[in-house]
Amino acid sequence: MNELLRRILFLPEQASDYARQVDALHYFVIVTTMIGAAGVFLAAIYFFVRYRRRSESDRTPHVEPKAIHEILFIGGPLALFLLWFAIGFPQYVSLSLPPDDAMDVYVQGKKWMWKFAYPGGPNAIDRLRVPAGRPVRLLITSRDVIHSFYVPALRIKMDALPGRYTQTWFNASRPGRYEIFCAEYCGLSHSSMLGELVVMPAADFDDWMAQQRRGLASAQDAAPVPGEPVRPASSVVEEGRRVAAEQGCLKCHSVDGTRHIGPTWTDLYLRDEKLASGKLVRADEGYLTRSMMDPAADIVNGFQNVMPTFQGKLSPPEVAAVVEYIKSLKTPAAGSGPSEGPVYESVPRK
């Protein structure tokens, strides 16, 4: 039944359980719409025939509705619409609640390609490999204008905004290859900004990832983009370390636990920091990013408001890299909070 309706409605394959659930709602909406519409049309057609004009001197009665008519006309549809909403809204909310063990992937849209980066792992262009049966969280941003990351087979879509991160997540249930589209008009080659989601069996994915981290990056996946300055293939974390050194962050923030002009970065990620205002804030990606863009906003208690803003000085991928670098600075005995996902080893430099 699911398959029959899916084909009639030209829906793509259902690459996840979420997609299946959304389609179930889709069928419900379509079927009730068709039934309701058929009711209206049949009534109308019956009236066209039954009450067609028979003579020019026809008189018609003055008909007024009874209250019950209007109550049905209002109450019926309203109840139906709210029922649809009551099913769809929780599904929508679930898209913003990734499980704690979701694997992160950074997605960056730029005119006119998708770049993917695994924390501590390889970078890729236009091809996103993920394991089947494991939740994957996408942290999406843009280098230039608004794009939108869309995978029809998963029924997910999220805008890629410059200067911000948005997130969505999925759990692809079985291996396969699925199209990725850009779904927000972004200029000349908007319709060529295609990508491919490659869902691999979990074991194959683990092998592939281990291979990547051993530095045997395949030329295709990590090839530099024509026109981009060529850097040696490096992980996001290494990139972050380089940016932090070049931009002078390490002049104020230590990486060995000593207190200096700014808070130390060791074990900073997910630490509960007390602000000057007395509030507690968790140093997650959002806080770390914000601290770089608007440092005066939430100053940690005991430190001065002397940090300059890096807005406009760091490109969004550089910001992301610094965040990843900070995340990697965990002492082995880190106990400040629950471990958020796999511990990333730095790729050894050649």
* Cross-strand bridge partners of residue 108: 115, 141
Answer for the pair 143, 316: CB distance below 8 angstroms, yes or no: yes
In the complex, the smallest distance separating the C-beta of residue 56 from another protein, rounded to whole angstroms, is 7
Query: Does residue 53 interact with another protein by CB under 8 A?
Result: yes
Query: Does residue 104 interact with another protein by CB under 8 A?
Result: no
Nearer to another protein (CB atom), residue 58 or residue 228: 58
In the complex, the smallest distance separating the C-beta of residue 34 from another protein, rounded to whole angstroms, is 9
Tokens of 137: 């969280």
Q: Which of 2, 17, 31, 92 is close enough to bind another protein by CB under 8 A?
A: 92
In the complex, the smallest distance separating the C-beta of residue 156 from another protein, rounded to whole angstroms, is 6
Residues 135-194 binding another protein (CB under 8 A) are 144-146, 148, 150, 152-153, 155-159, 161-164, 166, 179, 181-192, 194
Residues 288-347 binding another protein (CB under 8 A) are 293-294, 296-297, 308-309, 311-312
Query: Does residue 58 interact with another protein by CB under 8 A?
Result: yes
Report, in angstroms and rounded to the nearest whole number, the Rg of the chain calculated over CA atoms. Answer: 27
Query: Does residue 279 interact with another protein by CB under 8 A?
Result: no
| Residues binding another protein: number (CB under 8 A) | 88
Kindly report the CA angle at 88 between 87 and 91, in degrees rounded to 5?
Answer: 100
Tokens of 87: 């099913």
- CA dist 223 and 227 (Å) reads 12
In the Cβ-directed half-sphere of 162, how many Cα atoms lie within 13 Å?
A: 12
Q: How far is CA 88 from CA 76, 82, 92, 151, 188, in A?
A: 19, 10, 6, 19, 34
Query: Does residue 211 interact with another protein by CB under 8 A?
Result: no
In the complex, the smallest distance separating the C-beta of residue 129 from another protein, rounded to whole angstroms, is 21
